[in-house]
């Protein structure tokens, strides 16, 4: 084969794929979901497989599931499922706990059917009257059997990703340190990971905008659950100040977190290989009513923040110039300096 006919190597996947939670109503996972992903430039997607504010557990369509799974594999798009918001294993209502089990089981099975890498679930609140310890005992009783079912699905089963909340009321997990007890309740199962929501963490008191705030938060997360369990980041700015315990997402760089902490988060060793999904306002309520316009801007901004900082690029450029000059026998800028 001639050099000109040699196949080009496939581009390396990005260190952190950046994407969005995408709608699927209407034409389904591919026709709506991946079409939206294309429109906003998403490299990874998150979807609902049921009404997020209800208990319904609708059956999927095998043809759509397969089409979505194949399309994501062909495009190199990691997919995730977000379980419904009503799930709470710390509830004082037996009916709510039963529905929570059924709802999470449905999300895990649907996630497996569409090839999702993980299923995100909010960690809930201690409402059972016995405090945090009693609520975690209920978590153990209800979720461990689901993890056994997850094991039975085989090596391509999705991870169960615990998402700490913003710290409202009697949250079971809001600060990173809270994850330790939750993980212990689940015997630190090897397919239990963490979905970090930056707005939630900021609202819970992790001041990501302060010097060293990102590293302190990630250190606390790793100390709580161990390395390698951070599997997904929900990249959201915050409308409110740190510690406000309010879950109000803002577009990247437009809130109290600001853009720079996301650059730090994207470069930190603890996030290597971890996809970032935005759940920010999408533009439907902008004057021009362009759905996804703000998502596209947020994704583009995060992609720019993913690039090395200007100083790092300058050092790399100087090194390359100096090396080329040395080969040519000429002093480069580094040598001249």
What does the pLDDT look like over 224-244, one tens digit per residue?
999 999 999 999 999 999 999
**CATH no., domain 11-306:** 3.20.20.150
pLDDT, position 287: 62
pLDDT, position 253: 97
pLDDT, position 286: 66
pLDDT, position 334: 31
Instruction: Report helix, strand or coil for 312.
Output: helix
In tens, the pLDDT along 291-323 reads 789 999 999 999 999 998 665 444 444 433 333
Q: pLDDT below 70 — which residues of the chain? A: 1-11, 284-289, 309-337
pLDDT, position 329: 33
HEC assignment per residue over the chain: CCHHHCCCCCCCCCCCCEEEECCCCCCHHHHHHHHHHHHHCCCCEEECCCCCCCCCCCCCCHHHHHHHHHHHHHHCCCEEEECCCCCCCCCCCHHHHHHHHHHHHHHHHHHHHCCCCEEEEECCECCCCCHHHHHHHHHHHHHHHHHHHHHHCCCCCCEEEEECCCCCCCECCCCHHHHHHHHHHCCCCCCEEEEEEHHHHHHCCCCCCCCCHHHHHHHHHHHHHCCCCEEEEEECEECCCCCCCCCCEECCCCCCCCCHHHHHHHHCHHHCCCCEEECCCCCCCCCCCCCCHHHHHHHHHHHHHHCCCHHHHHHHHHHHHHHHHHHHCCCCHHHHC
pLDDT, position 3: 46
Q: Where are the domains of the chain?
A: 11-306
Q: Which parts are annotated binding residues for Zn(2+)?
A: 82, 122, 163, 197, 200, 234, 247, 249, 279
Q: Which parts are annotated binding residues?
A: 82, 122, 163, 197, 200, 234, 247, 249, 279
In tens, the pLDDT along 106-151 reads 999 999 999 999 999 999 999 988 899 999 999 999 999 999 999 9
Smallest CA-to-CA distance from 73 within 110, 39, 114 is with: 114
pLDDT, position 332: 32
pLDDT, position 291: 79
* Spatial separation of the C-alpha atoms in residues 202 and 241, rounded to whole Å: 8
């Amino acid at each position: 084969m001639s050099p000109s006919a040699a196949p080009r190597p496939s581009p390396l996947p990005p260190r952190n794929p950046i994407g969005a939670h995408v709608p699927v109503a209407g034409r389904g996972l591919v026709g709506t979901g991946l079409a939206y992903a294309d429109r906003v430039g998403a490299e990874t997607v998150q979807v609902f497989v049921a009404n997020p504010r209800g208990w319904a557990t609708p059956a999927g369509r095998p043809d759509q599931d397969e089409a979505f799974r194949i399309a994501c594999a062909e495009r190199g798009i990691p997919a995730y499922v977000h379980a419904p918001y009503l799930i709470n294993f710390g509830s004082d209502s037996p009916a709510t706990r039963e529905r929570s089990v059924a709802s999470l089981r449905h999300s895990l099975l649907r996630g497996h059917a569409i090839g999702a890498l993980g299923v995100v679930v909010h960690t809930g609140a201690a409402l059972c009257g016995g405090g945090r310890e009693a609520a975690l005992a209920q978590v153990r009783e209800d979720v461990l059997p689901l993890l056994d079912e997850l094991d039975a699905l085989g090596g391509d089963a999705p991870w169960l990703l615990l998402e700490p909340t913003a710290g409202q009321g009697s949250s079971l997990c809001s600060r990173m340190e809270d994850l330790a007890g939750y993980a212990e309740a689940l015997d630190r199962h090897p397919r239990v990971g963490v979905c970090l929501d930056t707005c939630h963490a900021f609202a819970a008191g992790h001041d990501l905008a302060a010097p060293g705030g990102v590293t302190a938060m990630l250190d606390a997360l790793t100390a709580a659950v161990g390395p390698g369990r951070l599997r997904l980041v929900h990249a959201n700015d915050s409308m409110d100040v740190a510690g406000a315990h309010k879950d109000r997402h803002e577009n990247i760089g437009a809130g109290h977190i600001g853009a720079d902490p996301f650059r730090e988060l994207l470069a930190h060793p603890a996030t290597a290989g971890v996809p970032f999904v935005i759940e920010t306002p999408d533009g439907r309520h902008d004057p021009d009513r362009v759905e996804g316009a703000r998502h596209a801007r947020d994704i583009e901004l995060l992609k720019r923040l993913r690039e090395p900082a200007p100083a790092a690029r300058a050092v790399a450029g100087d090194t390359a110039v100096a090396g080329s000059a040395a080969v040519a026998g000429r002093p480069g800028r580094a040598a001249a300096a």
